[in-house]
Amino acid sequence: MRTLSRNAVPALTAEQMRSIDRVMVEDLHIELVQMMENAGRNLAELAITRFSPTSVTILAGPGGNGGGGLVAARHLINRGCQVQVVLAAPDRLTPVPAHQADILARMGVTIANRPAPADLIIDALIGYSLRGDPAGITWANGQAAPVLALDTPSGLDLTTGAVGTPAVWATATLTLALPKVGLLDAPSAGELYLADISVPPLVYQRMGIAIPELFRQSSLLRIGPSAPSGPLIP
C-alpha cells in the first residue's frame, strides 16, 4: 500500500464533503448505495490487510456511516470472518442502510442487541454529520481489541478536530474520497487511511479543488506525515 504525504492532497471540511455527495447524487446520478458499497468494501479490505481478524464486531449507526459498516459486514463474512453486527438505533435506520440491513438478514446474519468482544472493533456509528450520542462508544474504548473507524472516529468534529465527550479513540481510521481537515492532527484518529468511493475528477473541478491522481494503483492509500519534498513516500 502506498503512503501519501498529508501535504500532497487537499483536505475537506464537513460542508465540502456534503457538497460533493450532493453533486454525486443530484448531478451525476451516482447513488448513495453505490458510494456506500465502495466504502464498505474498502473498509473490509483494510480490516483484513491491516488487522487480519478472525472475529469482528461492527457498531453501526442508523445513517450512511452505519450503512457502510453493514456493507463491510457482508464482505467480511464472505471472506470467512466471524462477524457480529450491533445497530445503535435500529428504529431510526434511513432507507439505504435499511436496505443493507435487509441483505444481512436474508443472509441469516443476526443483529445483536449488545456488543461482544472480538479481534477487531469497527466504529461505523457517526459520520461527518456528527449527530447523536449512540451507545457503543464507551464500550469500544474499553476493549483490548483495536478499533477501526469508518470516515471518522465517532465524536470527532471533522472540520475543527474537536473531540467530543464521549468519542471513540481509534487505532486506525479509513476516511473517504479526500482527507478531512479535522482528522489530520487528531490523535483520536490513529493511523489514517484514504479510500476511493469513485468520485469523478469533474466533481472536484466544479468545486475548484485540484487533486493529484490518488487511486491509480489502488483504491486504498495510507496518509502519512507531511513531507518537505516529494508527494509520495515509498
Q: Which residues of 121-152 are buried (b: 16+ CB within 10 A; e: fewer)?
A: bbbbbbbbebeeebebbebbbeeebbbbbbbb
User: How many structural domains does the chain have?
Assistant: 1
State how far the Cα of 79 lies from the Cα of 44, in Å rounded to an integer: 9
Looking at residue 73, what is its pLDDT?
98
State how far the Cα of 159 lies from the Cα of 222, in Å rounded to an integer: 20
CA angle 104, 105, 108 (to 5 degrees): 90
Q: What range does the domain containing 152 cover?
A: 3-233
169-197 tens-digit pLDDT:
999 999 999 999 999 989 999 999 999 99
Distances (CA, A) of 213 to 34, 143, 189: 21, 38, 24
Q: Name, in order, each residue with C-beta under 8 angstroms of 43's C-beta and a sequence gap of 6 or more.
A: 68, 69, 71, 72, 122, 124, 148, 150, 174, 195
Looking at residue 54, what is its pLDDT?
98
Q: 220: closest CA among 56, 78, 31, 43?
A: 43
Written as one letter, the residue type at 172 is: A
CA angle 31, 35, 183 (to 5 degrees): 135
100-148 tens-digit pLDDT:
999 999 999 989 989 999 999 999 998 765 555 566 899 999 999 999 9
CATH classification of the domain holding 89: 3.40.50.10260
Q: How many CB atoms lie within 10 A of CB 199?
A: 22
Instruction: Tell me the average pLDDT of the chain.
Output: 90
